Amino acid sequence: MSLFDRFRRPSPDGTSLDARIPPGQTLTKGFPVLTYGPTPIVFPEKWACRVWGIYETGVVFTWADLQAMPRTKVHCDIHCVTRWSKLDTDWEGVRFSDFLKAVEARLGPLPASVTHVMQHSFGGYTTNTPLSYLMDDNVLLATTFDGQPLEAEHGGPVRMMLPRYYFWKSAKWLNGIEFMSADRPGFWERYGYHNNGDPWKEERFSE
Ligand SMILES: Nc1nc2c(c(=O)[nH]1)N[C@H]1C(S)=C(S)[C@@H](COP(=O)(O)O)O[C@H]1N2
Ligand SMILES: [Mo]
């Protein structure tokens, strides 16, 4: 029996497993750690996320601010460009769209000129997406995985969790949300990763 077959199991919602694995991906049961550089250790009490860009002033959200926001659970599959996919993962946190409501409560309505967002991390990692990618119901500022506080190596205490795209589009140790009126490449995007990163279209690298 191949490794692949051993990891096969019926999907909870009846969707065929093959239909859930994007082209060129292999299932993994573990949870690989993919980090460029060292793992920052960030204590929740010290966690802060700065929001800036289009707004004239910025604002900082603390761990306590985040705890006061509505919480959401997401069950989803995740796909890394290094060709592993992990099915049926469980996350909890604050929906990006709910976080945005809190931003608007502090700073006023998001200007219509905002088209893109740069996620920033402790340690300097960045990744860019259109704002629309982050507005999906299953996009979280995630604080738990599998019912446990998110481990440091996976981006704890707070990471972005954007399952629709390759996982490099999900910044670990999130510490900044920059609203932009034009697109700009993030860390891996500057080094040749695709600007969009849709696993179903195999958008791995730029030409
Ligand atoms: N800050 C930061 N975020 C990051 C990365 C990183 O190196 N630094 N790696 C990205 C990549 S390439 C992937 S596949 C996922 C991996 O998340 P994991 O280590 O929890 O599996 O995090 C993404 N977010
Ligand atoms: Mo990755």
Lowest-pLDDT range, 53-62, 88-97, 158-167? 53-62
Mean residue pLDDT of the chain comes to 94
Tokens describing residue 147:
């019912």
Q: Is the pLDDT reported for residue 1 higher than 50?
A: no
Q: How confident is the model at residue 57 (pLDDT cuts 50, 70, 90)?
A: confident
Q: How many CB atoms lie within 10 A of CB 103?
A: 20
- Domains of the chain are 3-201 (3.90.420.10)
Nearest CA to ligand 1 atom 19: 33
Nearest CA to ligand 1 atom 22: 168
91, 141, 164, 172: residue to mutate for ligand 1 pocket, most atoms within 8 A of CB: 172
Give whichever of 4-13, 47-56, 183-192 has the largest mean pLDDT. Answer: 183-192
Average pLDDT of 81-91?
Answer: 97
Average pLDDT of 195-200?
Answer: 98
Q: How confident is the model at residue 55 (pLDDT cuts 50, 70, 90)?
A: confident
Average pLDDT of 27-46?
Answer: 96
Q: Is the pLDDT reported for residue 45 higher than 90?
A: yes
How far is the centre of ligand 1, averaged over its atoms, from the C-alpha of 106 (Å)? 30
pLDDT at site 48? 98
Q: Is 182 exposed, middle or buried (0-12, 13-18, 19+ CB in 10 A)?
A: exposed
pLDDT at site 56? 79
Place of tokens 């761990």: 63
Q: Which atom of ligand 1 is nearest to the CA of 40?
A: 1
Average pLDDT of 141-164?
Answer: 98
Please name the amino acid found at residue 177: I
